[in-house]
Amino acid sequence: MANSFDTNEIERKARAASFQDGLMEIFAAVVLTIIAIAWVASPSLVGIAAAFVVLFGWRVVERFKRRITYPRIGYYQEKAEDAATTGRGMLIFIGGAIAVMIGAVVVFGDVTDASEWRRAAPLLSGLTLAGGFWYAGERSGLIRHRVIAVYSVVTGVLLWAFSSGATYEPLVWHLLGLALPLMAIGTWALEHFIRTHPLPHGAIDA
């Protein structure tokens, strides 16, 4: 009987294996912390921090993967997605999150009061970050990414519901409150990955 191969399943398992090292979570925790610190220092620095992350962030992650991950499980290059489709999906989701934030201010607040928009900032942050982690969960198949997505939404809603909107401090707390468990999960995953995936004989650990 001829062997049949489910190429989609093989690709899914290879992709999931490439996410097991926890580097994505550690990277996300560092990014959120940098953005939170930049926001406290001066909101104008947030754009600079975000641009730095976009330009150099994944290069740093890839360098660590080449030193830690690929020598243990092999190199995996994900099949390229259609950039237009992915970009359109991201814009639609972000637009939906903004619509939810505006709806929350219209229904539960006063659109002419600036504090209401500051109060809704954690809600927008929670929804947009949740979308990113849910998408990562769809790609990786790892339940922890979906748990992080739900946690992001729940904490965003709670901070919106119980903050006064006097400052952007609740937004900073949301970013840091997400960065802390991400760093813990990522560190645990990385330690577990290194322990359960020893280097092949003769390879030199980074």
Higher confidence at residue 173 or residue 141? 173
Task: Check residue 1 and give its pLDDT.
Answer: 45
pLDDT tens digits, residue range 113-125? 999 999 999 999 9
pLDDT tens digits, residue range 46-97? 878 777 777 777 788 888 888 888 888 887 666 656 666 777 878 888 899 9
pLDDT tens digits, residue range 151-188? 999 999 999 999 888 888 899 999 999 999 999 999 99
8 pLDDT higher than 70: no
Kindly report the pTM of this predicted structure: 0.81
List the structure tokens of 31: 């990014």
Closest CA to 142 of 97, 192, 177: 192
Percent of the chain with pLDDT over 70: 85
